[in-house]
A and B are shown apart, each in its own frame.
Chain A
């Protein structure tokens, strides 16, 4: 009798978990649809990757909003016929970036990953200089939580996409195979105005890698190695969030991981031709405008071309055709305004 009861309970439990799984699949899908449809959205970029052909991206730039404004993929295609994409969003978390890159690797095989490091270094909330090992413990707990959350969202992104639940329409509830929208910007976020910097940067206290930045950078590196991708750490030019301390921190990290580190804030004149803070920033030094982004793209172009290990893929006609059209549309829009 006891055994029968236990078996019934186990069956009940499995049935319940099945229902939960089905509902999770359904809602993940619904939210994915909505995510694609809405024109804003933190997770939009990862969805838009689905509008690109499989294995058609050679260069991936990932980071927070800084990276979004510093790189123009359309230009890289126009000049050198290299396909690239920018993945980024404001207040990016290292774990988020890691899992998004992992998702992208499912359908794409980029040869170079440029990881823009602004999001992983910042001011630590150290109260007692880690006298009680509070930071270590917090970091560990956060890591486990990020891993759990990241892995669950990887399969069932309900919690990741739920913010878009607000703008739902009824049609979303019944779409099974969402179609990704094409994006001619390839992740680039346009800023047109010019605002020269006026304030001097306030020095931050307790600067360090934050939010388990090191662990996740290492994981991203391992992911890249598994996928024959070369990871390069870059620091996009910015006045608001760059300090020499941060430069040294990332330099140490790059040496630890054995990866290249290119800091565009050091020797900026040599690395980026004609760059000037008076003309190239949209908001006083945090984000670049189109002029600045174009110049940085040139610098990145040189970086890629000078890399011995890189050789761009030869693509099918359909991919070339798509990129030509997208690039044309992009420049037409830029010139039109």
Chain B
């Protein structure tokens, strides 16, 4: 069930109706039933995989919780001398348990999503020894949102291990968290604590908040159907038909694609956030006007926020605080006297894994891994060269004014666009091909494919303008929906009517446009 279809909106409508009619104590059950129905209507029998993951997660968390509780009790009983060794033993046992259960659920993800990628690697290595195709290619269907619910399950297990939450005894509540339909399609990655609290709160129907959420949903539909899908349609022929990319042509296409990806992803996130808020449940924020970023570091704190947070919490910190990392730290210290280097290298070491995983999560191919490492390398270089940049900045008396900030924003935008071109390219060699063909090529024979026709161009520009204005307002810290909820309702009417009829009349759907499924739902 695509989230931009009428049947999905009808599904949400019916769910809302039931949700606000039933006794507040079982509202969460309505969400559970709706989520399971949504899952089955998307993945049919593949739902079993999600149920298995949930089962492992639920059981694992309970076992880890038991171990924690046992530790607390026993520690008090033991005499002081034995406490330290018991603590170490218990901790080690717990770490092993966490590892077993986390690895189990991730193994399911790897087996389904990455088996062909791994198979290719094995086959290439085998090929070097003249052994042909050891591992066949599997045709595997993925259950809905497996990349999302797997990582959220791991976060639940680890949060129980860290004592942030107590393991849930009711398996259905864990199932609701894992399968919650607003965040299963494209995220965001929620933490169990945040959602569980809201699932347990009774929700009364609030007309203003409800209609405010509808504005958000309409805005998301506008971004996705009017802007993103339109750009997708316009660009669909470029890479197939153009053999010689010009600098201008490739630039236009890349910028358009970057906007398409942003409108598609953030639009869908707006839709699912709005849908979740219809039920009074707020999901985590995933975008915060990313194109206002002044550095790539900042960009990844504003784009796909929850993925960055997940990687920070469950990859970066564990690696940085691990014993293994301490050894690396000590090794570096022994071998260099330079203090900057000795603090930089270990952090760079753990960050490598973060960006490797970021890239790999996006797709099972070398290209995606390089996508993640592209940002890693640039960030590390930036970090190392910061003293130099500061020196130059001071020498040239450049102040942190508007001009410099604009320069930073444009610079970041440029870097991000190169990254997006890599993201869009089918393979790394394609990416390099586009760049090399476009370099110094001022001919422009590909512009016909790159520039949208009049009608499409106007609609895209209006859309970009509207979204930019909204972005500027939000940058200033104004929560637009909240403001709409408090002002006179006619303004909300105008917003909904404008967005609704823009989508109906200028939405890029229907036979002429073909179907453009949400890009990030394929992960």
Interface of A toward B, CB cutoff 8 Å: 9, 12, 16, 19-20, 23, 27, 31, 42, 91, 93, 127-128, 131-134, 136-137, 140-141, 144-145, 148-149, 152, 158-160, 162-163, 165-166
B509 nearest CB across to chain A (Å): 8
Query: Are A162's CB and B501's CB within 8 A?
Result: no
B502 nearest CB across to chain A (Å): 11
Other A-B contacts than A19-B497, A162-B506, A162-B507, 7 sampled, CB-CB below 8 A, are: A20-B497, A27-B501, A42-B511, A127-B139, A134-B141, A148-B10, A166-B455
Bound-state Cα–Cα, A93 to B511, Å: 9
Interface of B toward A, CB cutoff 8 Å: 1, 5-7, 10, 40-46, 139, 141, 207, 455, 489, 493, 496-497, 500-501, 504-507, 509-512
Query: Are B44's CB and A137's CB within 8 A?
Result: yes
Query: Are A145's CB and B44's CB within 8 A?
Result: no
Q: Which residue of A lies closest to B10 (CB)?
A: A148
Query: Are B6's CB and A133's CB within 8 A?
Result: no
Of A93, A127, A132, the residue contacting B45 (CB under 8 A) is A132
Query: Are B506's CB and A152's CB within 8 A?
Result: no
**A159-B510, A166-B455 given; A132·B505 CB < 8 A:** no
Q: Which residue of A lies closest to B45 (CB)?
A: A132
Query: Are A9's CB and B207's CB within 8 A?
Result: yes
B186 nearest CB across to chain A (Å): 18
Bound-state Cα–Cα, A150 to B455, Å: 26
A135 nearest CB across to chain B (Å): 8
Query: Are B7's CB and A141's CB within 8 A?
Result: yes
A contact face: mostly helix, strand, loop, or mixed = helix
User: In the complex, what residues of A have CB within 8 A of residue B497's CB?
Assistant: 19-20, 23
Of B1, B489, B500, B504, the residue contacting A162 (CB under 8 A) is B504
Of A31, A93, A137, A144, the residue contacting B40 (CB under 8 A) is A137
Query: Are A141's CB and B6's CB within 8 A?
Result: no
Bound-state Cα–Cα, A159 to B455, Å: 17
**A141-B7, A148-B10 given; A132·B44 CB < 8 A:** yes
User: In the complex, what residues of A have CB within 8 A of residue B41's CB?
Assistant: 137, 140-141
User: In the complex, what residues of A have CB within 8 A of residue B506's CB?
Assistant: 162, 165
**A127-B141, A133-B45, A134-B141 given; A145·B7 CB < 8 A:** yes
Q: Which residue of A lies closest to B208 (CB)?
A: A9
Query: Are A128's CB and B141's CB within 8 A?
Result: yes
Of B6, B45, B207, B455, the residue contacting A152 (CB under 8 A) is B6
Of A12, A93, A132, the residue contacting B43 (CB under 8 A) is A132
User: In the complex, what residues of B have CB within 8 A of residue A166's CB?
Assistant: 455
User: In the complex, what residues of B have CB within 8 A of residue A163's CB?
Assistant: 510, 512
List 25 interface pairs A-B (beta carbons < 8 Å), by A numbering: A12-B489, A16-B493, A19-B493, A19-B497, A23-B497, A27-B501, A27-B504, A134-B46, A137-B40, A141-B1, A144-B7, A145-B5, A145-B6, A148-B7, A148-B10, A152-B6, A158-B504, A159-B504, A159-B510, A162-B504, A162-B505, A162-B506, A162-B510, A163-B510, A163-B512
B461 nearest CB across to chain A (Å): 15
Bound-state Cα–Cα, A128 to B143, Å: 13
Q: Which residue of B lies closest to A149 (CB)?
A: B6
Q: Which residue of B lies closest to A90 (CB)?
A: B511
B15 nearest CB across to chain A (Å): 14
Query: Are A148's CB and B6's CB within 8 A?
Result: yes
B226 nearest CB across to chain A (Å): 11
Bound-state Cα–Cα, A160 to B497, Å: 19
Q: Which residue of B lies closest to A137 (CB)?
A: B44
Most chain B beta-carbon neighbours within 10 Å: one of A19, A23, A144, A152: A144
User: In the complex, what residues of B have CB within 8 A of residue A9's CB?
Assistant: 207
Bound-state Cα–Cα, A290 to B118, Å: 57
Query: Are B510's CB and A136's CB within 8 A?
Result: no
User: In the complex, what residues of A have CB within 8 A of residue B5's CB?
Assistant: 145
Q: Which residue of A lies closest to B455 (CB)?
A: A166
B295 nearest CB across to chain A (Å): 41
B293 nearest CB across to chain A (Å): 36
Query: Are B505's CB and A128's CB within 8 A?
Result: no
Q: Which residue of A lies closest to B11 (CB)?
A: A144
User: In the complex, what residues of B have CB within 8 A of residue A141's CB?
Assistant: 1, 7, 41
Bound-state Cα–Cα, A159 to B44, Å: 30
Of B6, B10, B141, B501, the residue contacting A132 (CB under 8 A) is B141
B515 nearest CB across to chain A (Å): 11
